[in-house]
């Protein structure tokens, strides 16, 4: 459940505890050897669902059309924290074995860094909810909104080592965002997420748990992907009380619980036609280039992925790898072939077996297990829940695969056009391999 083995991007310059400007080049330091690409790296959904909130509520029913997948998913989301009730929320989620997404405020993250850390360690996703939630600043012009997004992003990055690129607008986008806000955030590499089920826990002070439960389980018809808005800040003790019932409802109705990521199709409210932002000035082209366009380099979006193993290298183009649940996933067969491995598929057991140097790596698509055995070393290992079979292709997480290949993953670097993962055969293993082959 705790995705400790994920990749984590750590940019060297940002390990100092100062706010930093945007970096075009990430340096290769990732001390924990983890590269949790946060939600972030990602390739964006090619289209957005348009939501039509009721005028009165400001933001209500969202009915995503053309649901291709009949599987029901619920994304529980908590805004405005971390705060007084976050720990209780985390405890309930852990007990129920459910994961959620926390849209955090920078100023609260500064106050409770341990809760940010705990949320990540317990497998939840983080999103950016700006720094201080003040509408008058955030919606005066885009530059102010941007500044707070970056400020919060730096704070989260200092605490966790990754940058969330999910953004939720305080109060929702409806009546707040003009098209320019949407466009510029997308250009900068962010995915804006509103919601389609409002628990109503912040409609007024002290909304009772019963009412929160009722609202939080009012799913619009035709919606199989539900995003529930809740709050975990100081005044939301009733939300904590309602939470077990909310989880029970979705569980009983066959929903899968998941965390949001930037690859999800965004649920976004439409732009209010007569928003009070009519007089807003859009930022100039120069500012957009310097701040927003440059920002894209922080994510994997639009880049290729180059993997170097010792002296061998292979490049995976867009579509040849993907980022999911904060992990880089690669298709096993083409990946092993690129590095001179052999692979065969056993139809009966639905298991792929790859042979690479002295390693035998098996990907069991039924059990989801990825395991390695080696003829010369006794460090066999099994990783659960790592394998996905999809349309005849076996996808596995890159980091785990490299480890099972007996490699030390040493760095991740980025330049304008690609991400580079470097891995090396440890000296001892290389020697052992040599002996094994020569005996």
Kindly report the length of the chain: 439
Instruction: Write the binding mask 121 to 160 for Zn ion: x where contact by CB under 5 A, - elsewhere.
Output: ----------------------------------------
Q: Shortest distance, CB of residue 169 to Zn ion, whole angstroms?
A: 8
Q: How far is the CB of 286 from Zn ion (least distance, A)?
A: 32
Neighbour count for residue 103 (Cβ, 10 Å): 28
**At closest approach, how far in Å is the CB of 353 from Zn ion?**
50
**Stretches 56-64, 74-82, 142-150, 379-387: which one binds Zn ion (CB under 5 A)?**
74-82
Segment lying near Zn ion (by CB under 5 A), choices 60-68, 71-79, 137-145, 155-163: 71-79
Report the residue from 79, 194, 232, 258 that binds Zn ion according to the rule CB under 5 A: 79
Q: Which is nearer to Zn ion, 11 or 79 (CB)?
A: 79
State both tokens at 148: 């707070």
Instruction: Annotate 24-40 with DSSP letters as a single string.
Output: SS--S--TTS-B--TTT
Cβ atoms within 10 A of the Cβ of 381, count?
14
Nearest residue to Zn ion, scored by beta-carbon proximity: 79
Stretch touching Zn ion by CB under 5 A, among 76-84, 279-287, 338-346, 403-411: 76-84
Count of positions on this chain that bind Zn ion (CB under 5 A): 3
Closest to Zn ion by CB, 232 or 403: 232
Q: Which is nearer to Zn ion, 201 or 364 (CB)?
A: 201
Greatest Cα pair distance in the chain? 79
Task: Check 79, 194, 258, 358 and give the catalytic one.
Answer: 79
Is the peptide bond between 46 and the residue preceding it cis, with omega within 30 degrees of 0? no
Q: What is the spatial distance between Cα 161 and Cα 280, in angstroms, rounded to a whole number?
A: 35
Helix axes 86-96, 113-121, angle to 10 degrees: 10
List residues bridging with 370 in a β-sheet.
Answer: 363, 383
Burial class (CB in 10 A: 0-12, 13-18, 19+), 435: exposed
Phi then psi for 333, rounded to 5 degrees? -60, -60
Based on CB atoms, which residue is closest to Zn ion, 194 or 400?
A: 194
Near Zn ion in 158-217, by CB under 5 A: 170
Bridge partners (DSSP) listed for residue 389: 394
Q: How far is the CB of 242 from Zn ion (least distance, A)?
A: 18
Closer to Zn ion by CB, 83 or 161: give it. Answer: 83
Select which of 176, 231, 236, 291 is catalytic: 231
User: Cα-flanking dihedrals φ and ψ of residue 73, to 5°?
Assistant: -125, 140
CB of 234 to Zn ion, least distance (A): 12
Q: Tell me if residue 183 is catalytic.
A: no
Structural contact between residues 232 and 85, judged by C-beta atoms closer than 8 angstroms? yes
CA-wise closest residue to 111 among 90, 136, 138, 132: 132
Closest approach of Zn ion to the CB of residue 108, in Å: 11
Residue number with CB closer to Zn ion (201 or 358): 201
Q: Edge-to-edge, what's the strand order for the sheet holding 304-309?
A: 312-316, 304-309, 418-424, 408-414
Q: Is 231 a catalytic residue?
A: yes
Please check whether residue 307 is in contact with residue 423, taking contact to mean a CB–CB distance below 8 angstroms: yes
CB of 155 to Zn ion, least distance (A): 16
Distance of CA 114 to the CA centre of its chain: 20
Which one, 108 or 364, has the nearer CB to Zn ion?
Answer: 108
Write the interaction track for Zn ion spanning residues 80-119; mark x where CB under 5 A is met and - where it is not.
x---------------------------------------
Catalytic positions, written as ranges: 79, 231
Residues that bind Zn ion (CB under 5 A): 79-80, 170
């Amino acid at each position: 459940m705790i995705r400790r083995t994920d990749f984590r991007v750590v940019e060297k310059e940002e390990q100092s505890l100062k706010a930093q400007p945007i970096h075009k080049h990430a340096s290769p330091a990732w001390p924990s050897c983890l590269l949790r690409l946060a939600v972030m790296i990602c390739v964006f959904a090619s289209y957005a669902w348009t939501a039509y909130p009721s005028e009165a509520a400001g933001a209500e029913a969202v009915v995503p059309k053309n649901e291709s997948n009949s599987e029901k998913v619920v994304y529980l989301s908590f805004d405005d924290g971390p705060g007084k009730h976050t720990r209780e929320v985390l405890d309930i989620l852990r007990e129920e074995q459910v994961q959620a997404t926390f849209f955090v405020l920078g100023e609260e993250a500064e106050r409770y860094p341990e809760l940010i850390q705990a949320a990540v360690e317990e497998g939840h996703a983080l999103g950016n909810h700006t720094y201080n939630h003040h509408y008058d600043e955030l919606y005066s012009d885009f530059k102010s909104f941007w500044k707070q997004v970056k400020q919060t992003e730096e704070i989260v990055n200092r605490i966790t080592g990754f940058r969330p690129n999910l953004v939720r607008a305080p109060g929702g986008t409806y009546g707040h965002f003009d098209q320019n806000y949407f466009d510029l955030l997308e250009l900068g590499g962010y995915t804006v997420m509103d919601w389609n089920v409002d628990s109503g826990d912040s409609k007024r002070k002290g909304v009772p748990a019963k009412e929160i439960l009722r609202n939080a389980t009012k799913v619009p018809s035709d919606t199989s992907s539900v995003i529930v808005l809740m709050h975990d800040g100081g005044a939301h003790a009733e939300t904590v009380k309602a939470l077990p019932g909310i989880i029970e409802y979705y569980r009983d109705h066959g929903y899968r619980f998941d965390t949001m990521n930037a690859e999800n199709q965004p649920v976004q409210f439409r732009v209010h036609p007569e928003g009070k932002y009519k007089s807003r000035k859009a930022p100039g082209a120069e500012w957009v280039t310097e701040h927003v366009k440059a920002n894209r380099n922080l994510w994997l979006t639009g880049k290729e992925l180059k993997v170097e193993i010792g002296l061998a290298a292979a490049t995976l183009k867009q579509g040849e790898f993907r980022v999911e649940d904060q992990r880089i996933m690669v298709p096993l067969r083409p990946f092993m072939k690129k590095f001179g491995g052999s692979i065969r598929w056993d139809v009966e057991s639905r298991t792929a077996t790859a042979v690479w140097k002295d390693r035998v790596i098996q990907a069991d698509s039924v059990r989801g297990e990825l395991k390695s055995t080696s003829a010369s070393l006794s460090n066999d290992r099994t990783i659960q829940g790592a394998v996905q079979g999809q349309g005849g292709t076996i996808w596995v997480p890159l980091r785990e695969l490299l480890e099972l290949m007996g490699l030390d993953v040493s760095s991740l670097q980025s330049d304008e056009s690609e991400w580079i993962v470097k891995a090396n055969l440890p000296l001892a293993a290389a020697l052992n391999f040599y002996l094994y082959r020569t005996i």
